[in-house]
Amino acid sequence: MGLISAILALLKAVPSLERLFLKIADGVKEANAANRYEDKLDSIDAAISDARGGMLHSSSNEWSEDLDRSPPVPDGSTISTTVDASGTEEDSGT
């Protein structure tokens, strides 16, 4: 205990050493927190992979449309948009 109290007394006596020690301690805490976060993300990814039947995420595993799915835009040119001019003529008199 004498050694720890001597180190603490030295750190309090020299503020720059105390700040350096606190920065090092904060860095260690942040590194440990980042490692725990990555471990949690890995476990979530593993759970999702297990739920999907073991399919891992890669560039070859992307969404694709089924053959029976209709396209979002019609193929033909039979659909056109027009402006109803009768509404604008009636409103111009008011």
3-state secondary structure 46-91: HHHHHHCCCCCCCCCCCCCCCCCCCCCCCCCCCCCCCCCHHHHHHH
Residue 29 sits in which domain range? 14-53
**Straight-line distance from the first to the last Cα atom of the chain, in angstroms, rounded to the nearest whole number:** 93
In Å, what is the CA distance from 53 to each residue of 37, 43, 59, 70? 24, 15, 17, 28
| pLDDT tier, 94 (very low <50, low <70, confident <90, very high otherwise) | low
Check residue 4 and give its pLDDT. Answer: 85
42-77 pLDDT tens trace: 999 988 888 887 655 555 555 555 555 655 665 556
pLDDT tens digit sequence for 7-47: 888 888 888 888 888 899 999 999 999 999 999 999 999 88
Q: Is residue 38 part of a domain?
A: yes
Whether 30 is covered by a domain: the verdict is yes
- Count of domains for the chain: 1
